[in-house]
Structure 1
Amino acid sequence: MAVLHNRVSQKELKERLYQEPEPRTTVSFYQYHPLQNPQEFRDELYKRLDPLKVFGRIYVAKEGINAQVSVPASNFEAFKNFLYSYTFLDGIRLNIAVDDDGKSFWVLKIKVREKIVADGIEDPEFSMERKGKYVNAQQMNDLLQDEDTIVVDMRNHYEYEVGHFVKALEVPSDTFREQLPMAVELLKDKKDKNIIMYCTGGIRCEKASAYMLHNGFNNVFHLEGGIINYAKEVKTNELESRFIGKNFVFDNRLGERITEDVIAKCHQCGKPADTHTNCKNDSCHLLFIQCDDCAKKYDGCCTVECQTVYNLPLEEQRKLREGKQNGIMVFNKSKQRLRPRLDELTFVSSEPTN
């Protein structure tokens, strides 16, 4: 029986990736489509994609598929043709990464989930069959000129912090499942306004647009292909980018630059910076924004305490981690539950989304 998961260590896989001479393309895609047997579909995907040396994370559920992967250049056409061999994926838009070195993933993980986007929706009447109208980059820019347009960012605060559309409304929540009812409540008096939802690659804002329509909103739009596709269309058609800063991405890059604007600040010294990094202390791995100067000063760590641990011999570090779940830091997205000594730091799990 074929092995349908990886058995090589993460360290070795990462080393292999950086030794690859062939360029890779990072691509994301999703599709809402009812799947009768997600596990069977998952296994078939693995058997076909693993020989093509596709790396990345793919979630499969009864409602469809959500994927972020990297593909060797020589296998890209075979990869695309395989996807298009499924009727419900035939011709699907593949969002090519904007700022990509091809080193985004180093292993293939395909998991079956309850949903491809955790939304918390329990209403049996809700359906993805009725959703907002797609808008492309030019239409997005045109609608942004209309005073009756409200642009809603359906991403988390750490994504919004480094880049967003001009005039975009941030829904101040920790998770997408919390954002949906909050967006309805925030805009309850504006049901006849033009409301544009956007996100990284389209998957969250597409569901959000359907949820808004389900709750009585009349003029709902969502950005086709999200920020990734918008940036591509802006470049191709030489349009003005109304998105400023960086687009946070859930892979090893942690961000792709859309414009040269730096709208965030270093979480340690407050200087302009928008580079996300994970704390080098293996007991922490906190995601935060750090400038180059602070990276040198703190050895890539988030605090002096973590820097002290990071510089201990490896055996001592292992002993400190024994019996501790995620060490001193449990990944936490909430602005309200941050460590007192780092009030401005952002917490995030490595959970991928679009």
Structure 2
Amino acid sequence: MTAARRPPTMSPPPASPATPPTDLPWTVAALYQFRPVEDPAALRDTLLTLARSLDLCGTLLIAPEGINGTVAGSSESITALHDTLISLGFTRMEYKESGAPTRPFRRLKVRLKQEIVTLGVPVEPREQVGTYLTPQEWNALLAQDDVIVVDTRNRYEVKAGTFQGAVDPGLDAFREFPAWVDEHLKGAEGKKIAMFCTGGIRCEKSTSLLLQKGFRDVYHLQGGILRYLEDVPPEESRWEGECFVFDGRVTVGHGLMPGSGEMCHSCGWPLTAEEVGSPAFERGVSCPQCVDRTTDAQKAAFRDRQRMYDGLCP
């Protein structure tokens, strides 16, 4: 396997809407596509109006380079959104549905951005990316001894779970990744580099960046961890822990079933059962990671926010 330039016509095939793995009442759709958007503001207005009419919650990001987001609603509403995006030309989306037992987002946000995922340096993921690997091909590659496996997610995501033997760059934001590559992968241009993220979008840019820097054998997990956990049975899995997701479920496990994770809604860190049991933990207000970093006035505001959220999402 060798990484190669990939013209836009060789994008991964579009995913059709799939029935969530359970009969949970909320359907969660994670989606993205790198595709030129001539008028991002007009697309934002169209999707905001549609999402409001469908009573969706979650976030959609629109930029000149494409669309990215995770949204939730009824199964019918999510299907309507999917069909509309297809009609608007997003026919090559990386798209994944899963289920949630309760409302997974507090509100709806449809925003304009300069990038749909912020790397901070120019790359061309529509034209040059690494070799896509299916979950089964990914397992075969990870079984080899001469592969450097890199988790491109933020360190609080890695805390919830990662692949066996993966390198954690310790990122607080994805825009830190180029500097990490320059410092820690210097001299590894001839080695096999395998990268992964939650849904695949960060690896589109990560592999494009490495190829741009002269790396040759660059691979990434198509559909990200979410597709891997859906497709690979636990007995064949090389995944350890759960996968952090940016919604009220906090984590998911194999089969994309909601996990056991708890998140501090003050600082965003996933918490262990021990941390939840700490005196520093107050749901929606503080945890051991952040209890000393906020003032009493901020904690009071967080309590008000949590009471409001509890009223909306009993």
Deviates more, 1:185-194 or 1:23-32: 185-194
- 2:27 aligns to what SS in structure 1? strand
Cα 1:182–1:163 shift into 2, 3 Å: same
Equivalent residue, structure 2, for 1:93: 94
- Find runs of 4+ consecutive structure 1 residues off by over 6 angstroms: 324-328
Partner of 2:177: 179
Deviation at 1:63, TM superposition (A): 1.1
Cα distance 1:293–1:208, how it changes in 2: closer, same or farther (>3 A)? Answer: closer
Say which SS state the counterpart of residue 69 (structure 2) adopts: strand
| CA contact 1:100–1:256 (8 Å) conserved in 2 | no
Q: Kindly indicate whether the alpha-carbon contact (under 8 Å) linking 1:25 and 1:102 is maintained by their aligned counterparts in 2.
A: no
Q: C-alpha displacement at 1:257, in angstroms?
A: 2.5
Q: Which residue of 2 aligns with 1:113?
A: 113
CA shift, 1:96, in A, is 1.9
Measure how far apart 1:44 and its partner are. Answer: 0.7
Name the structure 1 match of 2:150.
Answer: 152
* Distance of 1:92 and 1:127 partners within structure 2: 17
Residue 26 of structure 1 aligns to a residue in which SS? strand
Match of 2:277 among 287, 295, 308: 295
Q: Hey, what does 1:244 align to over in structure 2?
A: 240
Mark the structure with the bigger radius of gyration: 1
Q: Which amino acid aligns with 1:302?
A: C
Q: Among residues 41, 48, 51, which one is paired with 2:50 in the alignment?
A: 48
Task: For 2:291 and 2:188, locate their aligned partners in 1 and report how far apart those are by CA, in whole Å.
Answer: 47
Separation in 2 of the partners of 1:240 and 1:212?
29
* Unpaired runs of at least 5, structure 2: 1-23, 303-314
Query: Once the two structures are superposed, what CA deviation does each residue of 1:69-101 show, in whole Å capped at 9, x if it has no partner?
Result: 0120233332221121122x125232123x632
- Superposed, 1:183-222 pairs within 5 Å as 183-222=181-220
Partners in 2 of 1:290 and 1:195 — Cα distance?
A: 31
Report SS of the residue matched to 2:78. helix
1:173 and 1:179 in contact (8 A); partners too: yes
Higher relative contact order (CA 8 A, sep 6+): 2
RMSD over aligned CA atoms reads 3.1
1:174 and 1:286, CA in 2 relative to 1: closer, same or farther beyond 3 A? closer
Shift in Å at residue 290 of structure 1?
A: 4.1
Deviates more, 1:238-247 or 1:112-121: 238-247
Q: C-alpha separation between the residues in 1 aligned to 2:96 and 2:145?
A: 30
Compute the displacement of 1:306 (Å): 5.6
What are the superposed Cα offsets for residues 192-228 of structure 1, whole Å, 9 maximum, x if unpaired? 2221110011111110000000000001111111100
**8 Å contact 2:33–2:92 — kept in the other structure?**
no
User: For each residue in 1:235-284, what CA deviation from the matched residue of structure 2 results, as whole angstroms up to 9, or x when unmatched?
Assistant: 4xx7611111011111122211349xxxxxxxxxxxxxx733326xxxx5
Contact 1:35 1:63 (8 Å CA) reproduced: yes
- Paired residues in the alignment total 271
How far the C-alpha of 1:293 sits from its partner, in A, is: 8.1
Going from structure 1 to structure 2, the CA distance change for 1:294 and 1:197 (only over 3 Å counts) comes to closer
* Contact 1:151/1:167 (8 A) holds in 2: yes
* Distance 1:179-1:297 versus aligned 2 partners, 3 A rule: same
Q: Is the 8 A contact 2:152 2:174 kept in 1?
A: yes
CA distance in 2, matches of 1:177, 1:136: 26
**Identity of paired residues, percent?**
32
TM-score of the aligned structures, taking structure 2 as reference length: 0.77
The alpha-carbon distance between structure 1 residues 192 and 141, as it changes in their structure 2 partners (threshold 3 A), is same
Please say if residues 153 and 197 of structure 1, whose CA atoms lie closer than 8 Å, have aligned partners that are also in contact: yes
CA distance in 1, matches of 2:189, 2:97: 34
- Output the CA distance in 2 between the equivalents of 1:113 and 1:293: 35
**Match of 2:40?**
38
Spell out, residue by residue over 1:132-168, the C-alpha distance to the aligned partner (whole angstroms, 9 max, x if none).
Answer: 1111100000001111211110011111112000110
Indicate which of 245, 265, 276 corresponds to 2:262. Answer: 276
| Residue in structure 2 matched with residue 140 of structure 1 by the alignment | 138
SS of the residue 1:94 aligns to: strand
Q: How many angstroms apart in 2 are the aligned matches of 1:76 and 1:51?
A: 12
> Cα–Cα, structure 1 residues 91 and 214, in superposed 2: closer, same or farther, change >3 Å?
closer
User: Does the CA contact (< 8 Å) of 1:184 and 1:212 recur in 2?
Assistant: no
The answer to whether the 8 Å contact 1:202/1:223 transfers is yes
